[in-house]
Structure 1
Amino acid sequence: MELQDVIYKKEDGVATITINRPEVYNAFRSLTVKELIWSFRDAWDDNQIGAVILTGVGEKAFCTGGDQSKKGDDSGYDGSGGLGGGIGMEIEALHHTIRNIPKPVIAAVNGYAIGGGHVLHVICDLTIAAETAIFGQTGPKVGSYDAGFGSAYLARVVGEKKAREIWYLCEKYSAEEAKEMGLVNKIVPASELMAAAEDWARKIAEKSPTAIKMLKYSFNADSANISGITQMAMGSLAMFYNTEESAEGRDAFLEKRPVDFKKFRG
């Protein structure tokens, strides 16, 4: 597959998948998601690959979620409603692929991990963050949400109270704050981020592939029920994207003005 939005390489038993849309802080569109899924599935099928690294191009952003400029009024992202529960991109399939690939996935967070990008790092098995990394949610500010893995699994990681704070307030957290709440495994200087991720990935790739696979399946088993919740969440999100309330969040973001949800409290 010829990739446009993603850089994909394999070396020494490690696959590195890099979102390549720095002009929009590595926000993803439908094509980006398709290419991410293809890359993860290629790494899945390659028996020589023992671990995967997910990161973003540049120093500013890991991923900032869905590209709001590609979100339509009534047909989801890229005007292709019907995929991924009707939101115009196969984000649910991407989440399941990252969770189910029988190889650990390490998020190397090099900047902003915001919104849907925050969800991606949460779903990864491990997270190594640059000292400059910033974490947080924006969904309720832009007329969106992830009521599946993005919230339910987040609560497993940081606890109910903290997960609710992250989603309800939509504030930003430093790498150190993220580590304190259990969102991050390790913090390193930005210049050492990829070296640290590659070191961990190679250490994993040296281990028994069957043992690692079964351990990942075991860790996933306790939260496997979230898959059903995700299906309902994506279905409801597709309907929500058809509303004026959701459009207000998107439009305010694109027009760089304060959002006004007060008119929808009636």
Structure 2
Amino acid sequence: TRDLPTVRIAFNRPEVRNAFRPGTVDELYRAMDHARMTPDVATVLLTGNGPSPKDGGHSFCSGGDQRIRGRDGYRYADGETQETIDPARAGRLHILEVQRLMRTMPKVVIAVVNGWAAGGGHSLHVVSDLTIASRQHGKFKQTDATVGSFDAGYGS
């Protein structure tokens, strides 16, 4: 047997509980796809950076950033147009594509839940192959109905 490397992919928006935006989802998809295509990678650890500068709390991911959600869904940054958006992007917030990639890639995806896994973050831990969380710090909540949303994919 041979030991293969593990890669760590982390949400890095601790000031908003590692909520994702369309650009964050694009980055996550590219990082996961790169790990999928790299033969020397066996395992992906998905986690969230922290602590929050507001209260010192940690979060895995709190799902979609509700501050940029419009009446017709999540939006890319102000000033972006169809011409400036990378054509590899599948849509405004294509978290379902990330979930599909996580479920079908031939690598083990482990969610390392170091705080809140809420909303879309909860869904990401559900579609991972394994979740590691401590009783003291792991917190799980599905908030879709609370914010008038729905589960984007595999059901949590």
TM-score range, shorter chain: 0.7 to 0.9
Instruction: Flag structure 2 segments of 5+ consecutive residues without an equivalent.
Output: 52-57, 83-88
CA shift, 1:148, in A, is: 3.1
Q: 1:119 to 1:43 in 2, by over 3 A?
A: same
Q: RMSD over aligned Cα, in angstroms?
A: 1.9
SS in structure 1 of the partner of residue 70 of structure 2? coil
For 2:96 and 2:25, locate their aligned partners in 1 and report how far apart those are by CA, in whole Å.
Answer: 10
| Conserved? CA contact 2:96–2:152, under 8 Å | no
Per the alignment, residue 100 of structure 2 pairs with 96
Q: Which amino acid in the other structure matches residue 97 of structure 1? A: L
> 1:37-48 residue pairs with structure 2 within 5 A?
37-48=29-40
**Normalising by the residue count of structure 2, what TM-score does the alignment of the two structures yield?**
0.81
For 2:22 and 2:147, locate their aligned partners in 1 and report how far apart those are by CA, in whole Å.
Answer: 18
For 2:6 and 2:152, locate their aligned partners in 1 and report how far apart those are by CA, in whole Å.
Answer: 32
For 2:153 and 2:16, locate their aligned partners in 1 and report how far apart those are by CA, in whole Å.
Answer: 25
Task: State the percentage of identical aligned residues.
Answer: 46
**Which 4+ residue blocks in structure 1 deviate beyond 3 angstroms?**
none
Per the alignment, residue 67 of structure 1 pairs with 65
- 1:90-114 per-residue CA deviation (whole Å, 9 max, x = no partner) reads 1111011111110110000000000
For 1:13 and 1:147, locate their aligned partners in 2 and report how far apart those are by CA, in whole Å.
Answer: 31
Per the alignment, residue 142 of structure 2 pairs with 137
Instruction: Flag structure 1 segments of 5+ consecutive residues without an equivalent.
Output: 1-11, 155-266
Q: Which has more radius of gyration?
A: 1
SS in structure 1 of the partner of residue 67 of structure 2? helix
Name the one with the larger strand percent.
2
For 2:65 and 2:118, locate their aligned partners in 1 and report how far apart those are by CA, in whole Å.
Answer: 12
Name the one with the larger helix percent.
1
Higher RCO by CA contacts (8 Å cutoff, separation 6 or greater): 2
Q: Which amino acid in the other structure matches residue 68 of structure 2? A: K
Q: 1:78 to 1:126 in 2, by over 3 A?
A: same
